[in-house]
Structure 1
Amino acid sequence: MNYNIPFNKPYLTGKETEYIESAVKSGKISGNGFFTKKCQTFFEERYGFNKCLLTTSCTDALEMAAILIDTQPGDEIIMPSYTFVSTANAFVLRGAKIVFADSLANNPNIDADSIEELITSKTKAIVPVHYAGVGCDMDKIMTLANKYNLFVIEDAAQAIDNYYTFKNGETKPLGSIGHLSAFSFHETKNIISGEGGMLVINDKQFENRSEIIWEKGTNRSAFFRGETDKYGWVDHGSSFLPSEIIAAFLWAQLENLDDIQKRRKFLWSSYFESLNVFAKTVGIGIPEIPAHMNNAHMFYLVCENLEQRSGIIEYLKSKNILSVFHYLSLHSSPFYSEKHDGRILPESDRYTDTLMRLPLYYELSDSDIGKISQFIKESLK
């Protein structure tokens, strides 16, 4: 039997085109209109974020964060090597030096215990990336940030609707802990708008300036609120606002966030139940995440080596099932390897060679997961 299971399939709730049509008919399809405000308010009220600004991508949100903390040439920014290039590019564009940290042995997140030795007098910020939506060790990261007076910018691209429990028992949404955070609504994420993102401003010192940067360096938003009698160019900025069409699409998704999350968590659990015992018998790692810390963004395997991963991917491909690897370590990339300080980051390189992602999207069926799991087992015989 021929299957046709893509790696990802964007889910439509049924309201997207209706809201897009409404936005078009309103006569305002540029940014910061009705749907933009609805989406931003949703996040502020549901998760207690101080201030939210929709952006055209998570990349843009990270670039805004780099501007907000006044990143200068020579500043050092600590982040994991095992992440998407946008995490680093946002700061490289401002002239910063990226200091890469290794991942944990049991999780692709940054090894928080390795951070302090990387801090120098030039360090300006730590950028933890919540891989697969799972929170980094924010207890240790925030303690270091306070000790050395550093900014923390959460790359929460994959972390929507997930939480972190501190050692004192306090639970906070991911993206609400650092001074700033960035989310993604790319079509591969849980909640989508095709391309899209959001900057979360948790530290109130950045509130006013964030809006100016967002509005191309002008005080236009303040003008339309009647807070100034004219507006002009007052700071750095760029065209970071998404159109109302993107925001309208996103609003249809946010209305169905709970349903989408319930479905994704069911599918994630189906994978776990199908593969957990088998994976352990053949030495393959799978994510073991407490239910309260799992937003079901991704289900991945960590193979024993590159050859095993390639074999599984090719076998699934022969069955018309698309699985993919993920990041290539940034410290060894063609662009940055000569700028890297030469430290070996073995866990990051191990994930580069061995981590593979399985299909996970709303319309995937339990039967599909059964077949994918069966073929993975067959591929290793």
Structure 2
Amino acid sequence: MIPFNKPYLSGNELAYIEDAVARGKLSGNGYYSQRCQAFFETTYGFKKTLLTTSCTDALEMAAILLDIQPGDEVIMPSYTFVSTANAFVLRGANIVFCDSRQDHPGMDESMIESLITSKTKAIVVVHYAGVACDMDVVMSLASTYDLFVVEDAAQGIDSLYKGKPLGGIGHLGTFSFHETKNLQCGEGGLLIINDERFVARAEVIWEKGTNRSAFFRGEIDKYGWVDIGSSFLPSELNAAYLFAQLESLPKIQQERKAIWTNYYKSLQVWAKQQDIKLPYLPDFATNNAHLFYMICTSEAQRTSLIKHLKDNKVHAVFHYISLHSSPFFKNQYLGAPLHQSDSYTRTLVRLPLYYELNIDAVTSSLLTYGR
């Protein structure tokens, strides 16, 4: 069976983990954490970055930094992973879901303004498949209505919007290093702080609500509990593994993009015959080859296609169940119908995409479907 995903080992992961052990500091914010953070700040020009145990934790930090209070409204897409919403629900926010675009599963930027009320505090954009939302529209709305913007760029590492790196445009951004992502360390994430107002407090929240980091830099003579926070730091073992992946970023991206392009070129004629849509890329966005998805004509076709691939020893998957129709939220949702989001829930399928993928085996299996 060709798996849906297979974590890639670039070469130095185990050596760096061994080195982290030899250095004698494993609890976080050590040598490898700092090297990873410096990589992002230097490579992409982010103002400040903090490694976290997951993208979920980075989003939860963002919600705390924005001082989300019960009753605040936060606008976000419904077609996303649960962490996008859960981070703000935990702070008491009322989630206002936005529908997806017709040409892409990302949120429909033209609908955002109609969802803004006097209670709106933030817009959370999700760069689905590593493809940017129209951030000029989003940031203009944020400026007009005095709102914060959080970029959920869990899938967006090394992707750009009009030349700007995703995660570095809103007030805050987040990355994921889950084993399914382009770069991974099993579980891990990154909080990106682009607004100077949040830098100092972010570090305190990150360190369990203490000013411990300032103490270790020699800026204060003792540290204590000064704010709310939690244990958001990853182990140095995770950071060491991640740093090896970061060193291999160009190689990993080159191979993933080659696989994505192979899919796109090989399937164009077949997809048209089956009335299946291939991914759309707006002219303002780049493609980081995080995932390759297809849009079927119906749920029945998707089910049939996934079964066909499974019978041919290829594991394809679908996601997400739109959050507004999820078991947890559906009885709370009082907004308008979200037709596009519901449609993607029924019809989107993801193909395997990982560094060592035998793509010819996948495409040859696909091309026999419908014959």
- Paired residue type of 1:316: L
User: Structure 1 residue 192 and structure 2 residue 190: aligned?
Assistant: no
Correspondence for 1:63: 60
Equivalences for 1:70-85 in 2 at 5 Å?
70-85=67-82
- Paired residue type of 1:110: M
CA contact (8 A) 2:104 2:280 kept: no
CA contact (8 A) 2:299 2:347 kept: yes
Correspondence for 1:11: 8
Correspondence for 1:305: 298
Correspondence for 2:308: 315
Which one of 259, 263, 272 corresponds to residue 271 of structure 1? 263
User: Structure 1 residue 214 and structure 2 residue 203: aligned?
Assistant: no
- Paired residue type of 1:96: A
| 1:281 to partner: Cα distance | 2.6
| 1:340 to partner: Cα distance | 1.2
Which one of 354, 360, 364 corresponds to residue 374 of structure 1? 364
- Structure 1 counterpart SS, 2:125: coil
- Structure 2 counterpart SS, 1:94: coil
CA contact (8 A) 1:311 1:379 kept: no
| 1:289 to partner: Cα distance | 2.6
Which one of 156, 164, 175 corresponds to residue 172 of structure 1? 164
| 1:290 to partner: Cα distance | 6.6
Q: Which runs of 5+ in 1 are unaligned?
A: 166-170
Q: 2-side partners of 1:93 and 1:239: how far apart?
A: 16
Correspondence for 1:364: 357
Q: 2-side partners of 1:53 and 1:314: how far apart?
A: 42
| 1:191 to partner: Cα distance | 0.3
Correspondence for 1:345: 338
Q: 2-side partners of 1:331 and 1:31: how far apart?
A: 36
Q: 1-side partners of 2:175 and 2:349: how far apart?
A: 22
Q: 1-side partners of 2:92 and 2:120: how far apart?
A: 13
Correspondence for 1:103: 100
Q: 1-side partners of 2:49 and 2:307: how far apart?
A: 42
Q: 1-side partners of 2:2 and 2:302: how far apart?
A: 18
Equivalences for 1:136-175 in 2 at 5 Å?
136-165=133-162, 171-175=163-167
Deviating beyond 6 angstroms after TM superposition, the runs of 4 or more aligned structure 1 residues are none
- Paired residue type of 1:305: S
Size of the aligned set, in residue pairs, is 370
Correspondence for 1:168: none
Which one of 128, 148, 161 corresponds to residue 131 of structure 1? 128
| 1:282 to partner: Cα distance | 2.0
User: Structure 1 residue 51 and structure 2 residue 48: aligned?
Assistant: yes
Change (3 A) 1:238 1:45: same
Summarize deviations over 1:169-193 as a string: whole Å, max 9, x none: xx21111000000100000000000
Summarize deviations over 1:314-360 as a string: whole Å, max 9, x none: 11111221000011000011111122114110000000000000000
- State the identity as a percent: 63
- Paired residue type of 1:353: R
Q: 2-side partners of 1:88 and 1:135: how far apart?
A: 19
- Structure 2 counterpart SS, 1:127: strand
CA contact (8 A) 1:17 1:249 kept: yes
User: Structure 1 residue 329 and structure 2 residue 322: aligned?
Assistant: yes
- Structure 1 counterpart SS, 2:149: strand
TM-score when normalising by structure 1: 0.96
Summarize deviations over 1:187-238 as a string: whole Å, max 9, x none: 0000000000000000000000000000000000001111111100000100
CA contact (8 A) 1:274 1:370 kept: no
- Paired residue type of 2:294: L
